[in-house]
């Protein structure tokens, strides 16, 4: 009784402001190497997908045998894979196709995958313009494939909508096990699909009362042609003028059935009895309620029958419209009494295009990799609430982009997480905490000048670095501005996401590692002090030594991006962190016979040591330190898979997870403010854990009720588990 496709293109409503022209060069990026095109043409929007490679600079460290320098830093060109998804209005399709044709260098591409209701209409145009064969793919299959992909690869993909809450969007923690789920796609009709695995799904039902009913019936009742205008009308209307409520029949509530007086007993019931005029707004509102309630009710009945608790809603009826998300949420809450939550997807509009792309890229097997959203290249979720940010709205309606990077490593859960499905990496959700949000946004904006300066300084021999650094400044400042208005743009706003966004922006403008030189200098210096430090530690009594070791680790990380109160003197102490803090600590563990797995960042982030650097440092230390173990198998260096000062324990390198399992790790030490305070402070592990950091930010210290430079030393033992013979994982 239903269908999944969009609507005929001839009925599309071009409601956006066309005075803003589409800047093709800004949105179709990396076309030179683009291949594997896919297109999803809906009723009013076209979504284009392609695979491309990006060349960017990376800082590599190389060890030399000379004693003069610890290691050499060389900036190399690296090619990484990136997926581009672009959404624009159908009106621009011809312009866009022309632009793509002109810039397409890769001539291997012969086919473009296509899906969506409008695919057949534009088939000829695409074939003529691009000279590619249009290969049509089943719409629902694409939709499901796309849905699986975003749920797996984007941690904050799904959200719950709460209109009057402090933050409208409450993002869900990514459950590593995404199946089974129910997808309710509300196009012109409704399709209800049960998804059980990557390739297994079934359309278990549907309804003919969907977006087309709202639009068609709404147009008849209100003489308003456009979908968006109808929603506008609805948001201003009073449905109680048109609907017959329980109280209109009962005078109050129908107590013994628990039906409250405000419940709609009969949609449009008043227009049958009262002989009067009804306002367009009221009728549109009543219609919206009627349709949303009906869909919500059916979705609940299907969810119940198939025993599913995760229900995602998508389709053009939903597509980021706060009004429809609210009414659907209300309906689901009503019918399931809160047992099932209505979930929406941040990239819902892209699902078809992503799926079609994946169909076309099957030989590359994109699903064997982990992918990450590139915050620098993605537009993020826009609120379409008209009064919120009119500028953004017009722009988001014109075009929207999503870019995803193929990650070098496949990311998985830390096997020692107590409950992966409830694990939330971030300690404070800035989307919900307005005070903290204001502070951190200000903090990052304030620190921007310093970051730009350091970026320029990191490339002293390249004159155009100044220009690039300026571009970086603009980009990141714009991101911060966007986040101030729309904190939910990239999922939950956190200190971690702010840092990641900055890293992405720096990478975008080829500043892969602004701290490499400083780190090199400091590591070099610290190494010179290593021997003496170790010797003086060894001279201490056992108890004193333990205290000194912990102090060393903590003292090391007294440098931070947000550490405004910290004077410049600490900038000189970078190498202290790892060489004079962490390494002696590790050495102590090793000398006691404990196996240690030392995990460090895969890529550069601020002054954090990278795995590459650590390899060299360890070699050097091993050469001068006779303590057993440093050379032996008992110390394992692994990559964390992360390139951030923070750490998401649900997205760690697969190799790390494997080593942790093999070595029967039973103690996890998380060190540093980014890893142990901003993230993972509340993380519950299934083994002993130790979280240590110094609060280096006075605002945060105040907030936590402590003083600046207070020490956090959090030792937790799960009930009945004390570590014995297993290895220790040190996350540094």
Partner 1 sequence: MAFNGHQFDDDILDEDGTPSKQLRPDKEMPESAASAGRASSPRRTSNSMSRLRKDSMKKTRPPFPWFGMDIGGTLVKLVYFEPKDITAEEEQEEVDNLKSIRRYLTSNIAYGKTGHRDVHLELQDLTLCGRTGNLHFIRFPTQDLPAFLQMARNKHFSSLHTTLCATGGGAYKFESDFRTMADLQLHKLDELDCLIRGVLYIDSVMSRGLSECYYFENPTDPDHCIQKPYTLENPYPLLLVNIGSGVSILAVYSENNYKRVTGTSLGGGTFLGLCCLLTGCSTFEEALKMASDGESTRVDKLVRDIYGGDYERFGLPGWAVASSFGNMMSKEKRESVSKEDLARATLVTITNNIGSITRMCALNENIERVVFVGNFLRVNTLSMKLLAYAMDYWSKGQLKALFLQHEVQHLSEATPTSMLERAPSPLNAFLCLCVHPGLLWCSRSPAGASPSILTSSKDALLNLLHTPLAL
Does position 8 bind partner 1 by CB under 8 A?
yes
What is the closest distance, in whole angstroms, from the C-beta atom of residue 386 to partner 1 in the complex?
22
Helices (H) and strands (E) counted in the chain, each on its own, are: 24, 24
Residue 174 DSSP label:
P
- CA 527 to chain CA centroid, Å, is 38
Q: Render 228-290 in DSSP notation, one character per residue.
A: HHHHHHHHH--GGGTSEEHHHHHSS-BGGGTB-TTSEEETTTHHHH--S---HHHHHHHHHHH
Does position 351 bind partner 1 by CB under 8 A?
no
Write out the binding residues for partner 1, residues 135-174 only, by CB under 8 A: 138, 140-141
Residue 35: C-alpha distances to residues 51, 354, 392 (Å):
5, 14, 30
What is the closest distance, in whole angstroms, from the C-beta atom of residue 304 to partner 1 in the complex?
6
What gap in Å lies between CA 490 and CA 346, rounded to an integer?
8
* Nearest residue (CB) to partner 1, 183 versus 246: 246
* Nearest residue (CB) to partner 1, 254 versus 709: 254
Residue 468: C-alpha distances to residues 86, 163, 296, 477, 604 (Å):
25, 40, 50, 14, 19
Buried/exposed 235-247: b ≥16 CB within 10 Å, e otherwise: bebebbbbbbbbb
Identify the residue among 75, 127, 176, 269 touching partner 1 (CB under 8 A): 269
Stretch that binds partner 1, among 297-305, 591-599, 645-653, 697-705 (CB under 8 A): 297-305
Residue 219: C-alpha distances to residues 107, 214, 231, 665 (Å):
46, 8, 11, 64
Does position 235 bind partner 1 by CB under 8 A?
no
Write out the binding residues for partner 1, residues 97-136 only, by CB under 8 A: 117
118, 120, 124, 129 alpha-carbon torsion, rounded to 10°: 40
What gap in Å lies between CA 148 and CA 181, rounded to an integer?
10
Write out the binding residues for partner 1, residues 454-513 only, by CB under 8 A: none
Residues near 462 by beta carbon (within 8 Å), at least 6 away in sequence:
none
Identify the residue among 97, 298, 630, 676 touching partner 1 (CB under 8 A): 298
In this structure, are residues 596 and 589 in contact, taking their beta carbons and an 8 Å threshold?
yes
What is the closest distance, in whole angstroms, from the C-beta atom of residue 253 to partner 1 in the complex?
9
What is the closest distance, in whole angstroms, from the C-beta atom of residue 273 to partner 1 in the complex?
5
Stretch that binds partner 1, among 219-227, 463-471, 534-542, 682-690 (CB under 8 A): 219-227
Identify the residue among 14, 163, 225, 453 touching partner 1 (CB under 8 A): 225
What is the closest distance, in whole angstroms, from the C-beta atom of residue 281 to partner 1 in the complex?
14
In this structure, are residues 565 and 697 in contact, taking their beta carbons and an 8 Å threshold?
yes
* Nearest residue (CB) to partner 1, 165 versus 305: 305
What is the closest distance, in whole angstroms, from the C-beta atom of residue 275 to partner 1 in the complex?
7
Residue 639 DSSP label:
E
SS3 for 692?
Answer: strand
Torsion angles phi and psi, residue 408, rounded to 5? -60, -35
What is the closest distance, in whole angstroms, from the C-beta atom of residue 19 to partner 1 in the complex?
24
- The crossing angle, in degrees rounded to 10, of helices 211-222 and 227-236 is 70
Does position 313 bind partner 1 by CB under 8 A?
no
Write out the binding residues for partner 1, residues 511-540 only, by CB under 8 A: none
Identify the residue among 20, 125, 165, 249 touching partner 1 (CB under 8 A): 249
Tell me how crowded residue 284 is: count the other CB atoms within 10 A of its CB. Answer: 28
What is the closest distance, in whole angstroms, from the C-beta atom of residue 232 to partner 1 in the complex?
17
SS3 for 585?
Answer: helix
Residue 609 DSSP label:
P
Write out the binding residues for partner 1, residues 197-216 only, by CB under 8 A: 203, 205, 207-213, 215-216
Residue 619: C-alpha distances to residues 168, 593, 630, 703 (Å):
51, 20, 8, 42
* Nearest residue (CB) to partner 1, 140 versus 669: 140
Identify the residue among 58, 162, 217, 388 touching partner 1 (CB under 8 A): 217
SS3 for 404?
Answer: strand
What gap in Å lies between CA 419 and CA 440, rounded to an integer?
29
Write out the binding residues for partner 1, residues 275-294 only, by CB under 8 A: 275, 278, 283, 290, 293-294
* Nearest residue (CB) to partner 1, 169 versus 313: 313
Does position 264 bind partner 1 by CB under 8 A?
yes
* Nearest residue (CB) to partner 1, 13 versus 176: 13
Residue 675 DSSP label:
I
The closest of 492, 484, 494, 399 to 99, measured between CA atoms, is 399
In this structure, are residues 537 and 580 in contact, taking their beta carbons and an 8 Å threshold?
no
What is the closest distance, in whole angstroms, from the C-beta atom of residue 209 to partner 1 in the complex?
5
Does position 10 bind partner 1 by CB under 8 A?
yes
306, 309, 315, 317 alpha-carbon torsion, rounded to 10°: 110
Does position 330 bind partner 1 by CB under 8 A?
no
Is omega for the bond preceding 180 within 30 degrees of 0, making it cis? yes
* Nearest residue (CB) to partner 1, 255 versus 593: 255
Stretch that binds partner 1, among 23-31, 302-310, 319-327, 441-449 (CB under 8 A): 302-310
Identify the residue among 182, 242, 554, 692 touching partner 1 (CB under 8 A): 242
What is the closest distance, in whole angstroms, from the C-beta atom of residue 249 to partner 1 in the complex?
3
What is the closest distance, in whole angstroms, from the C-beta atom of residue 334 to partner 1 in the complex?
10
* Nearest residue (CB) to partner 1, 289 versus 406: 289
* Nearest residue (CB) to partner 1, 251 versus 463: 251
Does position 244 bind partner 1 by CB under 8 A?
yes
Identify the residue among 91, 265, 447, 525 touching partner 1 (CB under 8 A): 265
Stretch that binds partner 1, among 270-278, 365-373, 585-593, 680-688 (CB under 8 A): 270-278
What is the closest distance, in whole angstroms, from the C-beta atom of residue 322 to partner 1 in the complex?
22
Identify the residue among 55, 98, 111, 255 touching partner 1 (CB under 8 A): 255
In this structure, are residues 80 and 405 in contact, taking their beta carbons and an 8 Å threshold?
yes
Task: Report how many residues bind partner 1 under the rule CB under 8 A.
Answer: 71
């Amino acid at each position: 009784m239903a269908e999944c496709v969009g609507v005929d293109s001839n009925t599309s409503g071009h409601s956006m402001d066309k005075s803003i022209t589409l800047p093709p060069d800004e949105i179709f990026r990396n076309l030179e190497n683009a291949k594997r095109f896919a297109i999803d043409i809906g009723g009013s929007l076209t979504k284009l997908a392609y695979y491309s490679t990006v060349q960017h600079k990376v800082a590599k460290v190389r060890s030399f045998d000379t004693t003069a320098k610890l290691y050499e830093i060389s900036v190399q060109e690296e090619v990484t894979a990136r997926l581009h998804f672009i959404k624009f209005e159908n009106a621009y399709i011809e312009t866009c196709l022309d632009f793509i044709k002109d810039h397409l260098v890769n001539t291997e591409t012969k086919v473009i995958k296509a899906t969506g209701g409008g695919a057949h209409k534009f088939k000829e145009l695409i074939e003529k313009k691009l000279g590619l064969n249009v290969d049509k793919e089943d719409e629902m299959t694409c939709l499901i494939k796309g849905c699986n992909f975003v749920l797996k690869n984007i941690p904050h993909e799904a959200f719950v909508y709460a209109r009057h809450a402090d933050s409208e969007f409450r993002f869900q923690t990514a459950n590593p096990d995404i199946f089974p789920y129910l997808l309710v796609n509300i196009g012109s009709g409704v399709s209800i699909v049960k998804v059980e695995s990557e390739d297994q799904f079934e359309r278990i039902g549907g309804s003919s009362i969907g977006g087309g009913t709202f639009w068609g019936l709404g147009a008849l009742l209100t003489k308003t042609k456009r979908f968006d205008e109808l929603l506008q009308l609805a948001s201003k209307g009073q449905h109680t003028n048109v609907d017959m409520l329980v109280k209109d029949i009962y005078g109050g509530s129908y107590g013994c059935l628990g039906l409250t007086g405000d419940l709609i007993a009969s949609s449009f019931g008043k227009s049958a009895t009262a002989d009067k005029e009804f306002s367009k707004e009221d009728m549109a509102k009543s219609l919206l309620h009627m349709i949303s309630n009906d869909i919500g009710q059916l979705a609940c009945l299907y969810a119940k029958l198939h025993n599913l608790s995760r229900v995602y809603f998508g389709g053009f009826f939903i597509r980021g419209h706060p009004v429809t998300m609210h009414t659907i949420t209300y309906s689901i809450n009503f019918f399931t009494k809160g047992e099932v939550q209505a979930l929406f997807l941040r990239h819902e509009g892209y699902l078809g295009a992503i799926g079609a792309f994946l169909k076309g890229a099957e030989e590359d097997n994109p699903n064997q990799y982990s992918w990450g959203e590139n915050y620098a290249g993605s537009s993020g979720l826009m609120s379409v609430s008209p009064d919120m940010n009119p500028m953004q709205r017009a722009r988001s309606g014109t075009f929207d982009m999503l870019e995803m990077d193929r990650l070098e490593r496949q990311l998985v859960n830390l096997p020692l997480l107590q409950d992966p499905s409830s694990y939330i990496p971030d300690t404070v959700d800035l989307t919900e905490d307005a005070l903290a949000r204001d502070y951190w946004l200000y903090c990052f904006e304030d620190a921007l000048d310093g970051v730009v300066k350091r970026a320029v300084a990191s490339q002293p021999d390249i004159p155009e670095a100044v220009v690039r650094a300026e571009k970086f400044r603009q980009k990141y400042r714009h991101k911060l501005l966007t986040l101030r208005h729309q904190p939910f743009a990239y999922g939950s706003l956190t200190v971690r996401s702010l840092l990641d966004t900055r890293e992405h922006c720096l990478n975008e403008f080829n500043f892969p590692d602004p701290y490499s030189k400083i780190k090199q200098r400091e590591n070099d210096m610290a190494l010179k002090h290593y021997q003496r430090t170790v010797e003086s530690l060894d001279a201490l009594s056992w108890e004193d030594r333990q205290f000194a070791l912990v102090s060393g680790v903590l003292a090391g990380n007294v440098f931070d991006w947000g550490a405004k109160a910290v004077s410049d003197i600490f900038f000189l102490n970078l190498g202290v962190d790892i060489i004079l803090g962490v390494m002696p600590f590790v050495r102590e563990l090793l000398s006691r016979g404990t196996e240690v797995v030392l995990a460090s960042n895969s890529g550069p982030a601020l002054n954090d040591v990278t795995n590459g650097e650590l390899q060299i440092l360890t070699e050097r230390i091993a050469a001068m330190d006779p303590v057993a173990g440093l050379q032996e198998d008992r110390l394992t260096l692994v990559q964390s898979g992360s390139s951030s000062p923070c750490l998401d324990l649900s997205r760690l390198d697969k190799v790390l997870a494997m080593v942790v399992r093999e070595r029967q790790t039973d103690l996890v030490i998380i060190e540093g403010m980014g890893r142990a305070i901003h993230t993972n402070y509340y993380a519950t592990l299934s083994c002993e854990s130790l979280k240590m950091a110094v609060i280096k930010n006075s605002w945060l210290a105040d907030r936590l009720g402590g003083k600046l430079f207070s020490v956090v030393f959090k030792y937790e033992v799960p009930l009945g588990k004390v570590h014995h013979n297993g290895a220790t994982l040190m996350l540094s």
